[in-house]
Amino acid sequence: MNSNLNKHTQFIDLGLMDYQKAWDYQTDLFNKILAVKSENRNRVANDQHTTNNYLLFCEHPHVYTLGKSGDEKNLVMPVENLSSIGASFYPINRGGDITYHGPGQIVVYPVIDLENFFTDIHQYMRMLEESVILTLKAFGIESGRIKGLTGVWLDWEDPLKARKICALGVKTSRWVTMHGLALNVNTALDYFNHIVPCGIPDKAVTSMEKELKATQPLDRVKELLKQQIVSLFEMQLS
């Protein structure tokens, strides 16, 4: 067993943070982990340095982000008009297409070295989805996956009723992760009208608030989601 495995993970709630500021913050952590891994290449086996892990939670002001494999045509409002609805736009370096972030939505950025946990990107994505599925179940919402699509869905087995409640998009380099998931809790869903969410034209978007017909306790949802992630990844939280 590798004695340098480090499952200690620092949890940081960034609160409501500008998208660019949060992107810069996680990029800095991401690059620091990569730097340690680069230095380890020149170290003997018994002198390897452990890499750190971070679990970031936040909300963002209204913003649309476009993944590197996305199509800007899926933003159906001209970029120059976004200021009229108080929103901004960023092409970014995660996978996936276009999505929306805004107040009332929990955004989770795990910046972790998967070599401390397991080295399987597919498993990583499914475990993030599972953390959301288990969180929603605690609130009486049954959810699941649609084959070939990422994210978490309601009525996932009915193509006519399926609607997305959580989007995923990640970036990895040498098993280090950034970006993550966005769970719609009390999200202003009308902002999704200005995009083709995740580039999928025939699927609706929903939120916990809409499904349960009441505003949900954001801090309670955050706590449960954090607990599920920590449990599934067997993190040692600090």
Chunked mean pLDDT (size 10), the chain, 238 residues:
79 97 97 96 88 98 92 91 96 89 98 97 98 98 96 95 95 97 97 84 90 98 98 95
Domain assignment of residue 162, yes or no = yes
Domain assignment of residue 2, yes or no = no
Q: Which of 46, 47, 43, 68 is nearest to 178 (CA)?
A: 68
Q: Say which of 56, 198, 224, 229 is annotated catalytic.
A: 198
By the 8 A CB rule, do 37 and 113 touch? yes
| pLDDT reported for residue 96 | 82
| pLDDT reported for residue 196 | 84
Q: Give me 22's structure tokens.
A: 């949060």
| pLDDT reported for residue 97 | 86
How far is 96 from 123, CA to CA, in rounded Å? 17
| pLDDT reported for residue 3 | 53
Domain that holds residue 84: 8-233
Domain assignment of residue 238, yes or no = no
Domain assignment of residue 74, yes or no = yes
Domain assignment of residue 1, yes or no = no
| pLDDT reported for residue 128 | 98
CATH number at residue 219: 3.30.930.10
Q: Count up the domains in the chain and report the number.
A: 1
Domain assignment of residue 77, yes or no = yes
By the 8 A CB rule, do 19 and 87 touch? no
Domain assignment of residue 3, yes or no = no
Query: What's the angle, vertex CA 118, arms to CA 37 and CA 11, rounded to 5?
Result: 75
Q: Which of 59, 78, 64, 106 is nearest to 199 (CA)?
A: 64
Active-site residue 198, yes or no? yes
